[in-house]
Chain A
Amino acid sequence: MPMDGKRAEELLLIAKRGGVGEIVVEGPDKRLVVRRAGSSQPALEACKSSVCRGAQSFEDRSDKETATSLKTIESPMVGRFYASPSADDDPFIRVGEKAEKGAVLGVVEAMKMLNEIEAEYPCLIREVCVADGGVVEYGTPIFRVQPLSS
């Protein structure tokens, strides 16, 4: 299926008709995201306060310049976030540690399907927003990271 502008328009029409907020098309080497203006994620707002208990926070909140360059890694699904393989193990990553592209930062599990959260680019972990074992919604911020040049 070609992923051009016309295709995007068709998908947008489908999204409108079906009341869908977002459509993602992924092929072996291309990715197209069509998002309706004004689509919202109310569940995300509702859960923000509850999931952040016990999470690790910024090391240096006064560093405003750095804070503005931070990026958020969000949960790709509804589920339970695991910061480490088990209670006896070290976390996949800690605040202040650097992650290479592709490194596993955590796991979100639902219905016994474990979705590894990977670093899409080299980055420094500045905040873990969700406590180990916390419930996350689709789009819940899990990590705040500072991108690093590779």
Chain B
Amino acid sequence: MASGSRLSQAICDAVDGYVVPANYNSPAQIVVSGEMAAVDAVMAVCKEQKIRAMKLPVSAPFHCAMMAPAAEEVRAALEGIEIGQPRVPVYLNVNAEPLESGKEVAGWLVEQTKSPVLWRQTLENMARDGMSTFVECGPGATLSGFVKKTLSDAQVLIFG
């Protein structure tokens, strides 16, 4: 586990209330999610330890167990939708591994709603599996920036 991941988990464990790492963006950037008071407590610890922390004005505690009711709505919405077998390897942020069967997609999407986004781990596993060039489409270079911060030897192409 990268040091940022360990640190964020340790801080979340140390404060009162429910708060957990929710987005592993890069080795040095982790978003936490949970009860407002607990998130504020994490902010205070970060300030004490001189760790840069920002509070994001979001509408819900995304990608944590507090989203379980929303995950059930996702499950209901996906019922009856058939998803075919992927023709190319598709890596999931929810487990950082390639999808094995199209039949699993709905279940993983439900899980994703209430589980952390393992973006850093996904990139690391793609590199583990031999991928070295990453392509970002659309304006901006946000994801490419995180690729470079996670995989220093990767080549990045941006189509904007």
Give every chain A residue within 8 A of B53 (Cβ-Cβ): 85-86
Alpha-carbon separation in the docked complex, A86 to B44 (Å):
12
A78 contacts B155, C-beta separation under 8 Å: no
Residues in B whose Cβ lies below 8 Å from that of A28 = 152-155
A85-B54, A112-B31 known; A24-B25 Cβ under 8 A: no
Q: At the interface, yes or no: A38 with Cβ under 8 Å from chain B? A: no
* A22 and B155 within 8 A (CB): no
Partner of A113, one of B25, B148, B160: B25
- How many interface residues does A have (CB within 8 Å)? 34
Check if B155 sits within 8 Å of A27, measured CB to CB.
yes
Instruction: Knowing A21-B160, A25-B156, A138-B160 are in contact, say whether A112-B23 is a contact too (CB < 8 A).
Output: yes
Which of these, A22, A104, A114, A137, contacts B160 with CB under 8 Å? Answer: A22
A132 to chain B, nearest CB (A): 11
Residue B101 interfacial (CB < 8 Å): no
A56: chain B residues at CB < 8 Å are none
Q: How far is the CB of A40 from chain B (nearest CB, A)?
A: 12
Distance in angstroms between the alpha carbons of A21 and B55 in the assembled complex: 34
Asked whether A85 lies within 8 Å of B145 as measured between CB atoms, the reply is: no
Interface centre among B23, B139, B144 (most CB of A within 10 A): B139
> Are A24 and B157 neighbours in the complex by a CB distance under 8 Å?
yes
B108-160 contacts to A, CB under 8 A, are 117, 133, 139-146, 148, 152-160
- CA–CA, A113 and B145, complex, Å: 10
Q: Is the CB of A26 within 8 A of B156?
A: yes
**Residues 1-37 (chain A) with a chain B CB within 8 angstroms:** 1, 14-15, 18, 20-28
In the assembled complex, how far is the CB of residue B60 from the closest CB belonging to chain A, in whole angstroms?
Answer: 11
Q: Which residues of A contact B160 (CB under 8 A)?
A: 20-24, 138
